[in-house]
Amino acid sequence: MEGRLLEKTWAELAGIGWRGKNSLLYSEKWGSHFLLGELLISAEVGEFKEEKESMCGDCRLCLDACPTGAIRKPYQIRPDLCLDYFSLHYDGILPMRVRELMGARLFGCSTCQDVCPYNREWKKVKLQPESGPGLFIPIEEVLLMDEEKFRRIFSGHTFKGKALTLLKRNAIVVAGNLRDRSLFELIEPFAYDSPSLLRQHALWSLWRIDPSRASGVFRKVRAQEIVPRVLQEINALQKKRKS
């Protein structure tokens, strides 16, 4: 079988929950903090339609809190603006405006869930033990992390593909947003010797942290870089500086 299952739609039709204005599925017991799983069977089942009414009422907390305006209208999300999509599922070059909007978010965004009154009770629950690295992880630790440590810390998570590379990409972006000069030396090696995805973001991050110092790095990178889009990043940043 090919293609993706529209699991939220099926779950909604089955009466498992109702749709919030942030487009997530809600259950009375768990708010939006639960995962859907599916079992595909070949047996035919009768028709069912148990859709529940949305319980959002006049609330629009999630729309107002979304940092990017991705919830354009109630129940409609623009994935090309959603930080959760970009930081967790998109494995390419992050558009510059998205990098800036990420702020200090390393992986994911749950602002539209955090502000929701239906998640209030759930927020009091403390996971014991805390899953994965917990809520915070030092940027330095991510930048220096190897595969073995990544697997140890994130065991049990469902990351796929080049997850560590994406985590490092995001850490490099967050460092740029924090403009923390103490991170310059940790980021600089990525500009010369790392996958091109990281080289490109590292140039942006260095430029955000210290544009004058970054100019020296740009000169060295120009002398050895062969990937056109990485060189274009330098051109775009230098143009930005002049304007």
User: Where does this chain bind ligand SF4 (CB under 6 A)?
Assistant: 20-22, 56, 59-62, 66-68, 70-71, 77, 82-84, 109, 111-112, 115-118
Q: Which is nearer to ligand SF4, 69 or 189 (CB)?
A: 69
Q: Which is nearer to ligand SF4, 109 or 203 (CB)?
A: 109
- The sign of the dihedral angle between the CA atoms of 131, 137, 142, 145 is negative
Q: Which is nearer to ligand SF4, 110 or 215 (CB)?
A: 110
Q: Using alpha carbons, list the distances in angstroms from residue 4 to 7, 38, 74, 83, 92.
A: 8, 11, 24, 21, 21
CA distance 128 to 147: 25
CA distance 82 to 63: 12
Residue nearest to ligand SF4 (CB): 20
Whether omega before 133 lies within 30 degrees of 0, making that bond cis, reads no
CA distance 221 to 217: 6
Q: Which is nearer to ligand SF4, 104 or 144 (CB)?
A: 104
**Sequence-separated (6 or more) residues with CB below 8 Å from residue 175:** 139, 143, 183, 186, 187, 205, 209
Q: Which is nearer to ligand SF4, 60 or 220 (CB)?
A: 60
